[in-house]
Structures are given as C-alpha cells and as structure tokens.
C-alpha cells in the first residue's frame, strides 16, 4: 500500500537511553526517522522508530533476533545497523547517518535520467539487494525514497528487511500497508501470496524503468522504448522480463537482472552513457565478460586482494607530487562535464585543458607533446578531436555517427589509431593525423579495442575476442593489421584489457582478471613471464609507463563504484601510492604520461 501513518501508532518518545534525539528527517508507513547523537561516541546516527503492527508478537526476542541479522550486514551499498531497542509503543533501530539525499531527489516526473548516470546507480542497488538476499533478507520496499545518494557519490539502500521478517515471507493483510509502496511492489506482494527475492527483482525493474523513461510502468506493459526511443531493444527486453506479472516469468534472482541490465546498457552506447556511438568500452566488457564468467588469473598469482591504500586529499583535483619531469594527462568528471586535466610533477591543483563542452575522454599526447588527441561527444556523437597542448586550436577528426574512441598516436606522429563501431561493436582503424583516409585494421567479425603502438611503430597491441569465446585476449598485430599473435599466458588465453607498451618495447602492462577483480599485470613482449603487479581488488587497469620505464600509473575503481582514483607505482609494483582521489570516470579515464 501507499505509505501512510498508522492511526493507532504511539507517540514518538522524546529521548532514548544513550542518545540525544535531534530533528525528524523522514517519515513513512514503517515509522519515523530522527537524527540523533550517540552520547558516548559523540557521533551522528539515524534512529528509526517502527510503527507497531496489529498482531505482531509483543516480546522483544523476535525483533532482536531479526535486528541482529540485519546488524551483521556489512556492504558498501547497504546502510549499517548499529543497535536496536524498545521504548513504550515502539521498537527502534540505530542506523548509520548518511549525508546526502534520496534517489528521488535526482528524479523528476517525465525526466529521463541519462543511461550513463542510471547504470552505476542501478548496479549498486542490485549489488546491495543480492547481498542481503544471500543472507536471507528481502527488502520488499525498494523505491527511490529508500535509496540514499551520499555526498561523495556513493549509493546505499535503506529500510531493507523491516517488513520481510515481520511478515514471515507472506504478505498477510494485516501487514499490507507496510509491505511496499504500491507503485513499486510486485503483484504477489499486493495480493498476499508467498514472497521471495523475485519481489525485489520486480521492484528494481520498476525503479530502472522509471529512471530510464521518466515514467512508472503501467500494469499492461508499455515497452520502455516507446517512452525513451533512445533505448535499444536489449534494455527493453530486460525490463519487460523483470516486470513480468507472473514471478515464474521474471529473472530468478537480482544478480541475473543486474548482469542482463548491465550488458544491455553497455550495448546502448549510441543512445546512452557514451553518446550516440559505441564501441563497447573494454573496461565494461571486461566487467561483464571477465567477472561474470570468473576467469582464471593470467599469471597464476596470489588471488587474495589487499585493501586499497586510502587517499586523503580533500580536493579530488589536487594531486600528490610524483617523480620525474613529465606531466600526466587524465580525464576527470568533477567539474560538471568530463574534462581533461594536466597533473604536474610538483603536485597541487590540476590544470584543465578542455573547455567543459561534453564528455572528453581517452587523452593521448602526440609524441612531441604539442598536441592532445581525445574522444568527445561535444557535437552529439562521440568522435576523435585534436587540440594544442594549451587547449587552443580544436579540430574534429572523425564524423559519421559512429562511436569513436581511444585514439593512439603512431611514434612518428603521422597517424592515429582509434576504435569505432562503424562495422560492428568495435574495430580498430588507422587514419592520418589530419583525420583523413581511415583504414580498417582488424577483422570486422570480431571485437577489438584499446590499441597501443609499440615504440618502434612496427606492432600494435590490443584486446579482442571473437563470438563464442569466453573473454578478451591479449593480441599483437603488425602495423598493417596482419600477422595477429596471441600473447596470453599459456594456462589462460582469456581475461586481458588495455595493454600498454614499455618505452623500450620489451614489456607490456595490461589489466587481467583475478577472481572477481581486475589487477595490473606485466609480461614480456613475446608473451612470456606474466606477473601480477597490484593486489588492490576492484578494477585496476588503464596502465601507462613513464618515459623512463621506471614507473606505471593506472586507474583504480572500487567494486560497484563508477569513479576511479589515480595511482602510481614502480614498474615492478613496488612503492604504490595514490595521486588523485575519486576523480576519473570508470571508462575513458585513461591516464597517460606527457612530455613537458
């Protein structure tokens, strides 16, 4: 039922032991939420007073048992429960206080949330739901009001499990006003039938439909593409299955919906998170192709990931100092649009190169350091542009409505490689530095991305796969596209992305799968001696060697998050240190060294 007050509810107390109640910050059918101070620790918390339910057991044992179950949850996208208790007329929960606003504040009726913004939010919600389901808890009231967007860009679900334990997995009539909001709850939830995690599948699909179309789905399903023609059929099909009236026709688990929706949104590049054109970004393909399949460690290394080194800089556009004289180019989305910045060896405030028009990704400096090639959707489609290193004399090199990205200069500065979806989801092209005479280098029947020139200009490394293969391979071809070689480790040919040559051409750094993570590896140029360099967990890739080959920079993104941080380490993986906190987009935030 729609949220509302219980006419029989007791008055909220003015104080509870150990806490100083402050202002009321929320109210709904389940109860009220107040901000409070935990006196002994002097920390701000949220106190949820639960409205009593007719027929609910009056003893505390059941409530405390279920509260302990929820308090044992620990997940970055789930609000933490600290404590529970009882005052006359009310059970209460002490919860983490989250600075920020609800997802509802980001949504307006009729307003479509761009897919590149909706995708990471939906993925985080799905991860949280899968986590609580694994621990025997249903949410049963998922809606934008119960999704919190933190001040630092994080996502957390709240009000999970407050209904399901009390209803004993069945929506009995006396509990109906507490079991979900009518616009978001499943048909079986509304009709008092048996409940399982497919109820939350329906609610998540409803939230996704609303975010991507600006409207709630109707009982007679209207294809999402009718409300948002930019959505591809793949997204429509996923939402239709998630919103099936019969639970047996839905996805059986939230994780199934999460993977299907993530893949569909990646396929929606021409209308979503990259602008009107797509070559499926290899980092996203890796997250889907590598992680969902659970590919083996390419170098057979230790699979236990350490916690990332914390970054402590307050301003995400201020970098730490780093050795050497060369500068670093990096894309950051902390200024509204995604812009390209220059980081100086002395550290401090990064200097913006682009002009805050559209998203500007994959910066690539020319060999002499005088120009910067990059991908941008400033004119509608995602195309390749070149600009002087001081931000002047912008020139567009590609046109035609494809998704063009990941430019890479030839060592002599005369040619540029790039990736486009003109013939399939991703193929590598070669054009002149002026943008003329593009030539297809890779097989049109396969997916190819992330090209990197060898320092002598004779070879091109890239990541690719053909239909039917389980993941991305580490490939090298001659500069004319011929003589393709597989450099993957003999024990595992799959699980590679974003290769980068060392300045002497003797080694390659790349991202490789390690269980559920992507870590930075390096191997010899002939494919021998694969060695894991990082153990951070999450996604670590987009590596780039310094010009003296002494150091490697790369982007680290925590699991489930959509913003990357920049790290630096020695070429052997030692002396790992953060440079820039939470500043880069998950894809397109390729850092690269630039001659000063």
Tell me what pLDDT residue 180 has.
Answer: 55
% of the chain at pLDDT higher than 90:
37
Report, as an integer, the average pLDDT of 368-381. Answer: 89
Of 138 and 285, more confident = 138
Tell me what pLDDT residue 165 has.
Answer: 43
Task: Domains for the chain: give ranges and CATH numbers.
Answer: 19-273 (1.10.510.10), 318-594 (2.120.10.30)
Our separate counts of H helices and E strands in the chain read 9, 34
Kindly report the average pLDDT of the chain as a whole number. 80
Provide the pairing of β-strand 100-102 with 90-96: unpaired
Q: In sequence order, what are the residues at sequence separation of 6 or more whose Cβ sits closer than 8 angstroms to the Cβ of residue 195?
A: 138, 140, 164, 167, 169, 170, 171, 186, 188, 189
Report, as an integer, the average pLDDT of 258-285. Answer: 52
Q: Residue 480 burial (CB < 10 Å; 0-12/13-18/19+)?
A: exposed
pLDDT level of residue 28 (50, 70, 90 thresholds): low
Tell me what pLDDT residue 378 has.
Answer: 85
pLDDT level of residue 55 (50, 70, 90 thresholds): very low
Report, as an integer, the average pLDDT of 265-284. Answer: 40
Tell me what pLDDT residue 50 has.
Answer: 80
Instruction: Read off the tokens for 568.
Output: 């630096």
Report, as an integer, the average pLDDT of 74-88. Answer: 86
What is the rounded end-to-end Cα distance, in angstroms, of the chain?
63
Report, as an integer, the average pLDDT of 346-364. Answer: 84
Residue 2 has pLDDT above 70, yes or no: no
**3-class SS of residue 24:** strand
The answer to whether the beta carbons of residues 593 and 367 sit under 8 Å apart is no
Residues 459-497 pLDDT 10s: 999 998 877 676 788 999 999 999 999 998 777 777 788
Residue 171 has pLDDT above 60, yes or no: no
Residue 105 has pLDDT above 80, yes or no: yes
Tell me what pLDDT residue 308 has.
Answer: 30
Tell me what pLDDT residue 508 has.
Answer: 96
% of the chain at pLDDT higher than 70:
80
Report, as an integer, the average pLDDT of 384-389. Answer: 93
Residues 213-241 pLDDT 10s: 998 998 778 888 888 888 878 898 899 99
Tell me what pLDDT residue 419 has.
Answer: 92
pLDDT level of residue 65 (50, 70, 90 thresholds): low
Residues 433-465 pLDDT 10s: 999 889 999 987 788 889 999 999 999 999 988
Residue 202 has pLDDT above 70, yes or no: yes
* Lowest-confidence segment of 136-150, 250-264, 331-345, 444-458 by average pLDDT: 331-345
CA distance 439 to 429: 5
Assign 3-class secondary structure to 187-226: HHHHCCCECCCHHHHHHHHHHHHHHHHCCCCCCCCCCHHH
Of 101 and 402, more confident = 101
The residue written with tokens 């949850």 in the block is: 73
Q: In sequence order, what are the residues at sequence separation of 6 or more whose Cβ sits closer than 8 angstroms to the Cβ of residue 492?
A: 295, 296, 297, 298
Tell me what pLDDT residue 175 has.
Answer: 38
**3-class SS of residue 92:** strand
pLDDT level of residue 253 (50, 70, 90 thresholds): very high
């Amino acid at each position: 039922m729609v949220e509302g007050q219980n006419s029989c509810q007791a008055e909220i107390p003015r104080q509870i032991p150990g806490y100083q109640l402050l202002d009321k910050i929320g109210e709904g059918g389940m109860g009220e939420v107040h901000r409070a101070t935990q006196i002994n620790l002097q920390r701000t918390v949220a106190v949820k007073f639960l409205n009593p339910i007719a027929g609910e057991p009056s003893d505390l044992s059941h409530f405390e048992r279920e509260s302990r179950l929820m308090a044992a949850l620990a997940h970055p996208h789930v609000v933490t429960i600290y404590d529970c208790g009882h005052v006359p007329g009310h059970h209460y929960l002490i919860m983490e206080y989250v600075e920020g606003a609800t997802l509802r504040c980001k949504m307006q009726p009729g307003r479509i949330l761009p897919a590149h913004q909706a995708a990471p939010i939906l993925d985080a919600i799905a991860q949280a739901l899968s986590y609580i389901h694994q621990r025997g808890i249903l949410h049963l009231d998922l809606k934008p009001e119960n999704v919190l967007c933190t001040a630092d860009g994080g996502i957390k679900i709240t009000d999970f499990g407050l209904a399901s334990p009390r209803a004993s997995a069945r929506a009995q009539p006396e509990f109906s006003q507490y079991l979900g909001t009518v616009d978001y709850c499943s048909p079986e939830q509304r009709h008092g039938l048996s409940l399982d995690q497919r109820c939350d599948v329906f609610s998540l699909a409803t939230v996704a439909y609303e975010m991507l179309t600006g409207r709630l789905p109707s009982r007679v399903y209207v294809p999402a593409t009718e409300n948002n023609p930019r959505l591809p059929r793949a997204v429509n099909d996923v939402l239709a299955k998630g919103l099936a009236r019969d639970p047996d026709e839905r996805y059986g688990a939230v994780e199934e919906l999460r993977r299907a929706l993530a893949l569909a949104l990646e396929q929606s590049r021409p209308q979503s998170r990259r602008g009107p054109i797509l070559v499926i970004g290899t980092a996203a393909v890796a997250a889907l192709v590598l992680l969902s399949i659970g590919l083996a460690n390419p170098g057979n290394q230790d699979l236990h990931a350490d916690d990332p080194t914390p970054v402590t800089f307050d301003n995400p556009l201020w970098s730490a100092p780093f050795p050497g004289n060369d500068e670093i180019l990096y894309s950051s989305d902390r200024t509204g649009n995604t812009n390209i910045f220059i980081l100086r060896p002395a550290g401090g405030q990064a200097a913006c190169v682009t002009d805050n028009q559209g998203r500007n990704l994959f910066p690539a400096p020319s060999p002499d350091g005088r120009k910067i090639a990059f991908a941008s959707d400033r004119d509608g489609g995602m195309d390749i542009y070149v600009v002087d290193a001081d931000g002047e004399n912008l020139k567009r090199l590609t046109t035609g409505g494809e998704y063009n990205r990941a430019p890479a200069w030839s060592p002599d500065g005369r040619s540029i490689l790039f990736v486009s979806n003109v013939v399939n989801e991703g193929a590598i092209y070669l054009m002149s530095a002026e943008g003329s005479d593009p030539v297809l280098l890779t097989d049109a029947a396969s997916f190819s991305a992330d090209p990197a020139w060898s320092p002598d200009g004779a070879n091109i490394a890239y990541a690719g796969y053909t239909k039917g293969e389980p993941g991305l391979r580490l490939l090298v071809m001659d500069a004319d596209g011929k003589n393709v070689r597989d450099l993957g480790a003999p024990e595992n040919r799959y699980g590679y992305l974003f290769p980068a040559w060392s300045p002497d051409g003797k080694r390659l750094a790349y991202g490789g799968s390690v269980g559920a993570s992507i870590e930075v590896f390096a191997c010899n140029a002939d494919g021998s001696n694969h060695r894991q360099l990082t153990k951070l967990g999450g996604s670590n890739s987009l590596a780039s060697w310094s010009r003296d080959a002494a150091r490697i920079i790369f982007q680290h993104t925590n699991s489930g998050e959509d913003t990357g941080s920049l790290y630096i380490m020695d070429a052997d993986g030692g002396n790992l240190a953060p440079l820039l906190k939470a500043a880069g987009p998950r894809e397109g935030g390729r850092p690269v060294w630039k001659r000063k």
